[in-house]
Amino acid sequence: MLGGLKKMFGAIKAGLGMKKSGDNGKHCPAGKSLTKSIQINEGLLRQVFKDCADVKTKKIAIPRMNNRRALVLYTEGLVSADNLTRDIISPLLAESEHNRQVEDVIQLIAVGQTSSYFYLEDFTSDILRGKIAIIVDGSSKAVIIDIKKWPGRSVEEPLQERLIRGPREGFTEVIQVNRGLVRRRLPDPNLKVFNLKIGQRTSTEVSMLYIEDVCNLDTVQEVKERLEAIDIDGILDSGVIAELISERTISPFPLHLSTERPDKVVGGLLQGKVVILTDGSPFALVLPSVATDWFQTPEDYYMHPLFATIGRVLRLLGILAVTTLTAVYTAIIMYHYEMIPSNIIFFIAQSREGVPFSPLTEALLLEFAAELMREASIRLPGPVSPTLSIVGALILGQAVVSANLVSPVLLIIVATTFLAGSVIPNYEASLAVRYLRFPMLLAAGFL
């Protein structure tokens, strides 16, 4: 009985032309097709794009089609005005020297990729993505031409992953440019690209890249299924995809690498990993990742093996320092001070004379202040950030020591952990490692 009710409700929905709110044609009359009357088609399009001031229309008459009227639709800001005039409008308005007539507008356009649609819901979203639609009087189809010019910044050096030696190119917010940067470095036909659109409203283009004869195809299939299973209104950045396809665990450590560097992406592909590019985001996801990926940089591959190894060891020591140095100092001062040589313990005791806080409270306050300073330096404008660092590190540090609120030894240790947390190349892993020192510090003070 329940199955029969479902079928009945489905038939009612089909008869009324109802559509899911997440479909691309959610603002279109469901299943509405174009007619051969340009006035009716124009009215339907005005209904679809009501209050969309950036969607422009242009009416022209095409001489080589017996002066039939045509309607050109495009989205302002996503289409170059010069390209529109030179490649679309001018060929349509040109007259033939031999008075030869044509029946299809596609024969007059010799630029871009063209396609034809008969239903409104099939091409309205294309117009909003930067494509041009041409509807001719007497024809019940819309010709869609792809000559879009996305607004965006040019290819430049990434700010977060600068190298001394290596390529200076970084990803941009345009996925077509990012795919080209990867393909130029890896012109291998075994490099496969799987495209899909995610987001019921944003319909964001996402690309999954992998090398077919290198990558584990089971991993490829798993990532593809997780991408296709995403059901959300919009994707604003690749970080949203990373959260939606990751396993729900309590571990704060990332299961993927996020990078702006095409050479790092190509390195991951050559290692058999899967890469996800998202339109509108300059960050690519390389997955799966392991712990050793957190302290590797592309520069390691461009340097002498000895220096690359030393750099990786220093980063590993930095991870150990940022998680344990303050906690070990606090535990020794509070419970195991006999481990410290006598001359050093007397110096530490003298430096702590007059400090009103316990070692644990003192360490927590300093670590909290260090995180506040780091967060403020990130969020403030560029010209102000160096000033804050000078004020926080020099003036404030000297003031709290002079006021006997903290001991100089602990201040040096906290500053060392602050520097150690900055040597981790991966930002997500750096966050997890830095914040891990707080539970370690509490464990040292109470356990």
* pLDDT over 70 at 151, yes or no: no
What does the angle CA 158 – CA 283 – CA 132 come to, to the nearest 5 degrees? 105
Q: What is the CA radius of gyration of the chain?
A: 31
Q: How far apart are CA 413 and CA 329, in angstroms?
A: 8
As a whole number, mean pLDDT of residues 180-190 equals 91
Confidence band for 379, pLDDT divided at 50, 70 and 90:
confident
Q: What is the pLDDT of residues 265-297, one digit of tens each?
A: 999 999 999 999 999 899 999 998 888 888 888
User: Among 60-69, 300-309, 373-382, where is mean pLDDT lowest?
Assistant: 373-382
Q: What is the pLDDT of residues 198-251, one digit of tens each?
A: 998 888 999 999 999 899 999 999 999 999 999 999 999 999 999 899 877 778
Q: Looking at residue 198, what is its pLDDT?
A: 93
Output the CA torsion sign for 213, 216, 222, 223.
negative
Q: Looking at residue 441, what is its pLDDT?
A: 92
Query: In 10 A of CB 15, how many CB atoms?
Result: 8
As a whole number, mean pLDDT of residues 389-412 equals 80
Give domain limits for the chain. 19-146, 175-289, 301-446
Fill in the amino acid letter for 245.
Answer: I
Provide the mean pLDDT of the chain.
83
Q: Looking at residue 328, what is its pLDDT?
A: 93
Share of the chain above pLDDT 90, in %: 26
Q: Looking at residue 392, what is its pLDDT?
A: 67
Q: Looking at residue 20, what is its pLDDT?
A: 35
Q: What is the pLDDT of residues 42-77, one digit of tens each?
A: 898 888 888 888 898 999 898 888 888 999 999 888
Q: How far apart are CA 340 and CA 447, in angstroms?
A: 20
* pLDDT over 60 at 3, yes or no: no
Q: Looking at residue 361, what is its pLDDT?
A: 92
Q: What is the pLDDT of residues 317-333, one digit of tens each?
A: 998 999 999 999 999 99
- Output the six-digit token pair for 266: 């190509």
CA distances from 97 to 90, 100, 106, 109, 266 (A): 15, 8, 19, 17, 52
As a whole number, mean pLDDT of residues 297-314 equals 88
Answer for the pair 62, 93: CB distance below 8 angstroms, yes or no: yes
Confidence band for 14, pLDDT divided at 50, 70 and 90:
very low
Higher pLDDT, 148 or 93: 93
Q: How far apart are CA 284 and CA 294, in angstroms?
A: 15
Q: Looking at residue 97, what is its pLDDT?
A: 60
What does the angle CA 286 – CA 288 – CA 290 come to, to the nearest 5 degrees? 105
Share of the chain above pLDDT 70, in %: 87
Torsion angle, alpha carbons of 393, 398, 399, 400, to 10: 80
Confidence band for 22, pLDDT divided at 50, 70 and 90:
very low
Q: Which residue, 171, 221, 217, 227, is CA-closest to 190?
A: 217
Q: Looking at residue 16, what is its pLDDT?
A: 36
User: Among 80-94, 351-365, 373-387, where is mean pLDDT lowest?
Assistant: 373-387
Give how far the C-alpha of residue 362 lies from the chain's centroid of Cα atoms, to the nearest Å: 39
- Output the six-digit token pair for 176: 């077509």
As a whole number, mean pLDDT of residues 330-352 equals 87
* pLDDT over 70 at 164, yes or no: yes
Q: How far apart are CA 401 and CA 404, in angstroms?
A: 5
3-state SS string over the chain?
CHHHHHHHHHHHHHHHCCCCCCCCCCCCCCCCECCCCHHHHHHHHHHHCCCCCCEEEEEEEEHHHCCEEEEEEEEECCECHHHHHHHHHHHHHCCCCCCCCCCCHHHHCCCCEEEEECEHHHHHHHHHCCCEEEEECCCCCEEEEECCCCCCCCCCCCCCCCCCCCCCCCCCCCHHHHHHHHHHHCCCCCEEEEEEEECCCCCEEEEEEEECCCCCHHHHHHHHHHHHCCCCCCCCCHHHHHHHHCCCCCCCCCCCEEECCHHHHHHHHHCCCEEEEECCCCCEEEECCCHHHHHCCHHHHCCCHHHHHHHHHHHHHHHHHHHHHHHHHHHHHHHCHHHCCHHHHHHHHHHCCCCCCCHHHHHHHHHHHHHHHHHHHHHCCCCCHHHHHHHHHHHHHHHHHHCCCCCHHHHHHHHHHHHHCCCCCCHHHHHHHHHHHHHHHHHHHHC
pTM reported for the whole predicted model? 0.78
Confidence band for 8, pLDDT divided at 50, 70 and 90:
very low
* pLDDT over 70 at 23, yes or no: no
* pLDDT over 50 at 365, yes or no: yes
